[in-house]
């Protein structure tokens, strides 16, 4: 019985030390943040659909640290100080990544020492230009232009353009109360595109919605979006 008592006491002591060690664990305190940009201009995406990956060399086969990209193209991750590789997962985002050189390719190398801002430069297939929104008579109307950025062998066609509206500032395919689409084949002039969508009955009642334009590119999963704008009606 005494032997059993000593074993149980030893196990309890080990558990206590393990708990103390866990409590004394140092949390990461440095913040790496920035935006996905094209020539310094933020790229709008759908919330929680595009992400960046951070890898820390020299730590075996640890999984990547995901940094979700907000709808305004911004990202943020709280990390330990150290050296990281920042990459966009293959096939993600409505853009092509920028290769700095043959060795680094599209990887950004970050030496994190305290809070740091690092923007990720990309090349989108299209950019949404001069979006204008107007509300009235239970409708939201939008006009805008599309600038084709990537041409040649890497160019892609437009699958559709969409006008989304929502009660809150979170506006996307998954978060909306109204949407109108135009097929890419029906767009005759990239410099003069117009869309409108009905505003449904809103509960509770409010006299405004939030709107943004989205562009779906053929063979690209993620859409590119205009900034969110509040529209009174």
**According to the model, what pLDDT value does residue 91 have?**
87
CATH number belonging to the domain at 126-232, selected among 3.30.70.2740, 3.40.50.300, 3.90.1150.10, 2.60.40.2060: 2.60.40.2060
Which helix (H) or strand (E) covers residue 13, if one does? helix 2-23
**According to the model, what pLDDT value does residue 18 have?**
52
Residue 188 carries which DSSP code? -
**According to the model, what pLDDT value does residue 59 have?**
61
For the chain, the 3-state helix, strand and coil shares in percent, each to the nearest 5, are 10, 45, 40
The dihedral sign for the CA sequence 93, 210, 228, 131: positive
Residue 197: which of 216, 177, 183, 214 has the closest Cα? 177
**According to the model, what pLDDT value does residue 2 have?**
42
Q: Quick check: do 30-123 and 126-232 share a fold? A: yes
Q: What is the CATH number of domain 30-123?
A: 2.60.40.1120
**According to the model, what pLDDT value does residue 103 have?**
55
Question: 32 burial class (0-12, 13-18, 19+ CB within 10 angstroms)?
Answer: buried
Question: Quick one: tokens of 200?
Answer: 């449904």
Mean pLDDT by 10 residues, the chain (233 residues): 45 49 69 96 95 82 86 96 93 88 74 95 97 94 98 97 98 96 97 97 95 98 98 96
Domain segments of the chain as ranges: 30-123, 126-232
Torsions phi, psi for 222 (to 5 deg): -85, 140
**According to the model, what pLDDT value does residue 116 have?**
96
Task: Kindly list the distances between the CA atom of residue 171 and the CA atoms of 13, 44, 151, in Å, as whole numbers in the listed order.
Answer: 53, 11, 29
Question: Quick one: tokens of 78?
Answer: 């709280």
Half-sphere exposure of 148 (CA within 13 A, CB side): 13
């Amino acid at each position: 019985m005494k032997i059993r008592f000593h074993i149980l006491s030893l196990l309890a002591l080990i558990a206590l030390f393990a708990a103390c060690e866990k409590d004394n664990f140092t949390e990461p305190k440095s913040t790496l943040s920035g935006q996905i940009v094209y020539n310094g201009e933020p790229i709008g995406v759908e919330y929680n659909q595009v992400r960046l990956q951070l890898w820390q060399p020299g730590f075996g086969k640890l999984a990547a640290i995901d940094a979700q990209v907000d709808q305004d193209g911004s990202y943020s991750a709280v990390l330990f100080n150290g050296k990281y590789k920042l990459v966009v997962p293959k096939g993600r985002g409505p853009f092509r990544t920028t290769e700095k050189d043959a060795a680094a390719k599209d990887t950004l190398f970050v030496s994190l020492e305290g809070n740091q801002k690092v923007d990720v430069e990309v090349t989108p297939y299209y950019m949404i230009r001069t979006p204008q929104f107007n509300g009235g008579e239970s409708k939201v109307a939008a006009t805008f232009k599309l600038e084709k950025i990537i041409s040649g062998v890497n160019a892609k066609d437009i699958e559709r353009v969409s006008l989304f509206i929502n009660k809150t500032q979170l506006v996307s395919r998954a978060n909306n109360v109204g949407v109108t689409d135009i097929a890419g084949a029906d767009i005759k002039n990239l410099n003069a595109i117009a869309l409108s969508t009905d505003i449904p009955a809103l509960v509770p009642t409010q006299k405004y919605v939030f709107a943004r334009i989205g562009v779906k590119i053929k063979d690209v999963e993620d859409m590119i979006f205009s900034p969110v704008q509040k529209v009174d009606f």
